[in-house]
Amino acid sequence: MHRFFSVIILFSIALVSTAKAQHFSPHPSQENARISGTPGTLQFDLSGHTASVTMAVWSPNGTKIATSGQDGLAIIWSASDGAKLLTLKGHTFYVNSVSWSPDGTQIATASLDNTVILWSALTGEKLFTLNGHTYGGVFAARWSPDGTKILTASYDSTAILWSAFTGERLFTLRGHTDLVTDVKWSPDGTKVITAGKDMISVIWDAVTGSKIINLIGHTAAVNDAEWHSNGTKIVTASDDSTAIIWNTLTGEKLSSLRGAHWRSGEGAMESGWNDNRHCKRRSYGNPLVCYHLHSSIYT
């Protein structure tokens, strides 16, 4: 009888152990689902920053992800399994943004410490530091389409064009009277646009650094500016609750877009193009509003 009970106890322990193993070790099909890209399923958590994450961007070929944070770090992750590949440590204050070079071999990080650092995305080596902005921090660093230049935007009311090969300052773009909120390259890389808290946007020649035209029409800070893919139009988003579409050759205002259901004071934070539509988001966490460009009706 004693031997019989011993067998039952051992068998029960084996069942419990098997159940625990099944509970804590996902079935192979479940494990594959976590990294298969199945819509609606959690793939993995990228846990490594110790403060707020300010930006997350995919590499050009989609195999990696780069994040920046208020802990002063940027981190490169594997997009296939979420593994931390490289930690980029060199800034002394918040990292506001991170961007990939067009070929995916380098990373640019912009920080509130007034610098931009270029890194090897393959080894994590610091290549050089872009020093030139004077106060308030650098908000963004954008690579030119061909990867030869970098454009930066700062609180000091300037934008700067740099050589991506040497770190040399090529041009300082002075045309705003308040902080520069955003900078973007034209699709062909021959022009850039700067958006400012001073309610204007400016189109510049990226070859000479000269001002081409001011886009004047908003009544509050301009938060974002986006080129159309054909380079003939720009859309800007503002704290005045509107987005404006402009002719890039003449500076003519083509259309002013306002959501009829918006409350006063709720600014347009972001803009983007999608085929025949322009879309803008009222503010972070609020609905996206889209407009047909050939009708003035939003959907």
CB atoms near residue 2 (< 10 Å)? 6
pTM of the predicted protein model: 0.76
The tokens 């879309």 sit on which residue?
279
Give the right CATH number for 48-292 from 3.40.50.2300, 2.130.10.10, 3.10.105.10, 2.40.160.20.
2.130.10.10
Every domain range in the chain assigned CATH 2.130.10.10: 48-292
CB atoms near residue 10 (< 10 Å)? 10
DSSP state of 252: -
Beta-sheet strand order (sheet of 158-163) = 138-143, 149-154, 158-163, 169-174
Task: Give CA–CA dist 166/277, Å, rounded.
Answer: 39
8 A C-beta contact, residue 85 and residue 78: yes
8 A C-beta contact, residue 294 and residue 287: no
Tokens at 178, concatenated: 């308040």
N residues, the chain: 299
Amino acid at 103: D
CB atoms near residue 82 (< 10 Å)? 16
Tokens at 38, concatenated: 């199945």
Tens digits of pLDDT across the chain (299 residues): 444 333 333 333 333 333 333 333 333 333 333 455 677 788 888 989 999 999 999 999 999 999 999 999 999 999 999 999 999 999 999 999 999 999 999 999 999 999 999 999 999 999 999 999 999 999 999 999 999 999 999 999 999 999 999 999 999 999 999 999 999 999 999 999 999 999 999 999 999 999 999 999 999 999 999 999 999 999 999 999 999 999 999 999 999 987 633 333 444 445 554 555 545 444 444 544 554 444 443 33
